[in-house]
């Protein structure tokens, strides 16, 4: 069994800070919060998409981390698109168990926004299939727009439902000092009247690209937070190849693995950080994670069930939508939020009576998914 010792996170923003500064900051916070020293770390798993447009020109990430943290350890890079953080954590847990390691550090970081928006868009487009998606202009909003459209047509979901998901996440981010949209008021009108990026998705249906880093330390030593479930799964690179575009099998499989490990069902989850790269993905994921039946995810948002004061608060951090989405940092930052919640350190965003917390991190349009379940044990 693996436990969480500490977690740290830099502010998610578009500042010019270099990656090493953010990494240093979040690792320091993770060590402090876990009352641990770097000397206690046995291995490091790090995830980054190694963006080429950010001016850092730094591809050899593992030795860079070695230089920065002054450690001669196994340091492994785990790129997995937007699921990089979650997949790195899964690998770290596997490594910790297999090697009976004392403590393993997981880092996700990205400096994504450091160039003109066309370059950033292109950087992300490279995660799509080369000849069917990249060559056909299927930037990520377009990929997800086509999925969202199928979902809307099949299950009578409306743009208003998506807008409610965006509003909820922005309301949560308003109180998260590390979120990109901290203290920035966003209204339903702003969301509904925002420009169309790729119809039917509007600007406020899309997560906000930004820069950031996050870190967690997992341990064999019992702490107050147990990682009771950890699952990953993959699926075809392109959503259009899948028989059902509106249900993402990688989420269903990863969640099943994590629930089985934890010995629980979706009903036992008290709080979740869901990969809302697009508002439509949040609704689809309610269903794929088992929180709602197929086609009924919209009811959770319409009835306010996933609001911070609802029965199942989702994305109390603000989610990718409003906390921000620095690709490989996202999955680790989800764990950071859940650690704050489980340790009752989330201040204005604090949710009470949490037993099980779920983190859901997707790469691509449902290509790879990591699901982790945390449990408060002390």
Partner 1 sequence: MIIRWVSEDGKRKWIYPVKKDIYTKGKIIKQISTKAKVIGITKVNIPSPMHPITPYNVILLEDGYGNRMPKKTMKEYKINDVYEIKPAKTDSAVIIAKIKYDIYEYLKHSLKLLHNYNISSKDKILIKPSIIEPAYSYQAVATNSELLDALITYLRENNVRDIIVAEQAMLGNDTIESAAKSGILDVCKKHEIPFVDLSKSEYVEKTSDNFSFRIAKEVLERKLINMPVMKTNSQIVVSGAMENMLRVVDENTQKKMFEQDIEETLPKLIKILPNFLSIGDATIGMQANGPTLLGEPAFLNMLFLSKDPVALDSVFIEAGIFAKPNYIKEAALMGLGDSDTNNIEIIGDELEAIKYPLKAAEKNATAHTKIKLIDGKANPYIYNTALKMSAKLVGLLGQEINLVIGSLITKDMLQEKTRLVAYGKEAIEKLKPLGIKPVAEIPEEMDDIEKIMLLKSILQNPDKESITVIDKLKSKIASFGTKIKNKF
- Report, as residue numbers or ranges, the catalytic residues: 82, 325
Torsion of CA 335, 341, 342, 343, to 10 degrees: 110
Q: CB of 205: closest distance to partner 1 in angstroms?
A: 12
Q: Exposed e or buried b for every residue in 308-344, given b needs 16+ CB within 10 A?
A: beeebbbbbbbbbbbbbbbbbbbbbbbbbbbbbbbbe
Report the residue from 145, 163, 210, 327 that binds partner 1 according to the rule CB under 8 A.
145
Contact criterion met (CB below 8 Å) for 181 and 322: yes
Q: Which run of H or E residues covers position 162? A: helix 159-173
Q: Which two tokens stand for residue 323?
A: 């906390």
- 286-291 contact pairs (CB < 8 A, 24+): 286/314, 287/247, 288/247, 288/248, 288/251, 288/252, 288/255, 289/251, 289/255, 289/358, 289/360, 289/371, 290/255, 290/259, 290/265, 290/266, 291/266
Looking at 154-162, 175-183, 191-199, 257-265, which segment touches partner 1 (CB under 8 A)?
191-199
Q: Which of residues 66-125 bind partner 1 (CB under 8 A)?
A: 117-119, 121-122, 125
Q: CB of 331: closest distance to partner 1 in angstroms?
A: 25
Pair type for strands 368-376 and 356-363: antiparallel
Q: CB of 286: closest distance to partner 1 in angstroms?
A: 22
- By CB under 8 A, tell whether 194 contacts partner 1: no
Report the residue from 57, 72, 98, 131 that binds partner 1 according to the rule CB under 8 A.
131
Report the residue from 50, 133, 161, 273 that binds partner 1 according to the rule CB under 8 A.
133
Report the residue from 1, 59, 67, 135 that binds partner 1 according to the rule CB under 8 A.
135
Nearest to 273 by CA among 189, 211, 212, 330: 330
Nearer to partner 1, 146 or 191 (CB): 146
Residues that contact partner 1, how many (by CB under 8 A): 34
Nearer to partner 1, 146 or 322 (CB): 146
| Angle at alpha carbon of residue 314, lines to 330 and 278, rounded to 5° | 55
Nearer to partner 1, 1 or 153 (CB): 153
- By CB under 8 A, tell whether 277 contacts partner 1: no
- By CB under 8 A, tell whether 51 contacts partner 1: no
Nearer to partner 1, 18 or 155 (CB): 155
- Could you give the CA distance from residue 126 to residue 334 in angstroms, rounded to a whole number? 24
Nearer to partner 1, 198 or 370 (CB): 198
Q: How is residue 294 annotated by DSSP?
A: T
> Residues, the chain, total?
378
Contact criterion met (CB below 8 Å) for 215 and 68: no
Nearer to partner 1, 155 or 240 (CB): 240
- By CB under 8 A, tell whether 367 contacts partner 1: no
Q: CB of 200: closest distance to partner 1 in angstroms?
A: 8
Looking at 210-218, 238-246, 293-301, 303-311, which segment touches partner 1 (CB under 8 A)?
238-246
Phi and psi torsions of 333, nearest 5°: -70, -25
Q: Which of residues 195-214 bind partner 1 (CB under 8 A)?
A: 195-201
Site for partner 1, rule CB under 8 A: 117-119, 121-122, 125, 129, 131-139, 141-142, 145-146, 149-150, 153, 195-201, 238, 240-241, 243
């Amino acid at each position: 069994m693996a436990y969480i010792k500490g977690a740290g996170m830099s502010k998610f923003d578009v500042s010019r800070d270099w990656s090493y500064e953010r990494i240093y900051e979040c690792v320091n916070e993770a060590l402090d919060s876990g009352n641990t020293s770097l000397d206690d770390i046995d291995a490091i798993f790090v995830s980054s998409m190694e963006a080429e447009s950010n001016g850092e020109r730094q591809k050899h990430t593992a030795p860079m981390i070695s230089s920065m943290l002054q450690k001669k350890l196994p340091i492994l890079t785990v790129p997995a698109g937007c699921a990089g953080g979650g997949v790195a954590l899964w690998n770290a847990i596997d490594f910790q168990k297999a090697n009976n390691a004392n403590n393993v550090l997981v880092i996700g970081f990205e400096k994504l926004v450091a160039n003109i928006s066309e370059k950033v868009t292109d950087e992300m487009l490279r995660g799509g299939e080369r000849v069917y998606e990249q060559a056909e202009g299927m930037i990520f909003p377009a990929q997800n727009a086509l999925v969202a459209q199928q979902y809307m047509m099949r299950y009578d979901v409306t743009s208003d439902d998506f807008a409610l998901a965006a509003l909820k996440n922005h309301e949560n981010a308003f109180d998260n000092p590390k979120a990109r949209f901290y203290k920035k008021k966003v209204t339903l009108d702003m969301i509904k009247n925002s420009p169309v990026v790729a119809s039917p998705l509007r600007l406020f249906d899309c997560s906000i690209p930004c820069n950031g880093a996050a870190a967690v330390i997992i341990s064999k030593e019992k702490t107050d937070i147990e990682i009771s479930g950890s699952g990953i799964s993959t699926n075809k690179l392109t959503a259009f190849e899948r028989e059902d575009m509106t249900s993402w099998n990688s989420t269903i499989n990863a969640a099943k693995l994590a629930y089985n490990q934890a010995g629980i069902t979706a009903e036992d989850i008290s709080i979740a950080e869901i990969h809302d790269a697009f508002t439509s993905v949040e609704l689809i994921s309610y269903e794929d994670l088992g929180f709602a039946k197929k086609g009924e995810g919209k009811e959770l948002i319409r009835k306010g069930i996933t609001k911070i004061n609802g029965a199942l608060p989702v994305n109390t951090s603000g989610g990718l939508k409003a906390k921000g989405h620095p690709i490989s940092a996202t999955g680790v930052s989800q764990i950071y939020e859940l650690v704050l919640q489980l340790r009752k350190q989330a201040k204005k965003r604090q949710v009470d009576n949490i037993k099980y917390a779920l983190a859901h991190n997707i790469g691509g349009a449902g290509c790879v998914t990591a699901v982790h379940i945390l449990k408060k044990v002390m």
